[in-house]
Amino acid sequence: MDRKIEKKTWTTKRITYLALGSLFLLFLIYNIGFGDYGSRLNVEKEKLSISTVYRGDFQEFIVVTGT
């Protein structure tokens, strides 16, 4: 009499596909989370003003004349 052969649920092919898919998904998540997507702005040194930071009274309104 013949016996019914049950199919394996975790075949080598299925495990390989799941492992590769998981690695690819982790790679995408890593690149999105830790990728260098920052923007860069080049400014001439002459156009920058750098001064010393000090503690003082809070000024809610600072008069600045711009051109």
Reply yes or no on whether the pLDDT at 67 is more than 80: no
Reply yes or no on whether the pLDDT at 1 is more than 80: no
Q: How far is CA 66 from the centre of its chain?
A: 37
Taking only the tens place, the pLDDT of each residue in 3-40 is: 888 888 889 999 999 999 999 999 999 998 888 877 88
Instruction: Please indicate, yes or no, if residue 45 is contained in any of the structural domains.
Output: no
Q: Which domain holds residue 27?
A: 9-35
Question: pLDDT value at position 18?
Answer: 97
Q: Which amino acid is at 15?
A: I
Instruction: Please indicate, yes or no, if residue 30 is contained in any of the structural domains.
Output: yes
Instruction: Please indicate, yes or no, if residue 56 is contained in any of the structural domains.
Output: no
Instruction: Please indicate, yes or no, if residue 16 is contained in any of the structural domains.
Output: yes
Instruction: Please indicate, yes or no, if residue 53 is contained in any of the structural domains.
Output: no
**Total of domains in the chain:** 1
pTM comes to: 0.48
- Quick one: tokens of 23? 């690695």
- Quick one: tokens of 37? 């997507």
- Rounded Cα–Cα distance for residues 54 and 20 (Å): 55
- Confidence class for position 44, pLDDT limits 50, 70, 90: very high
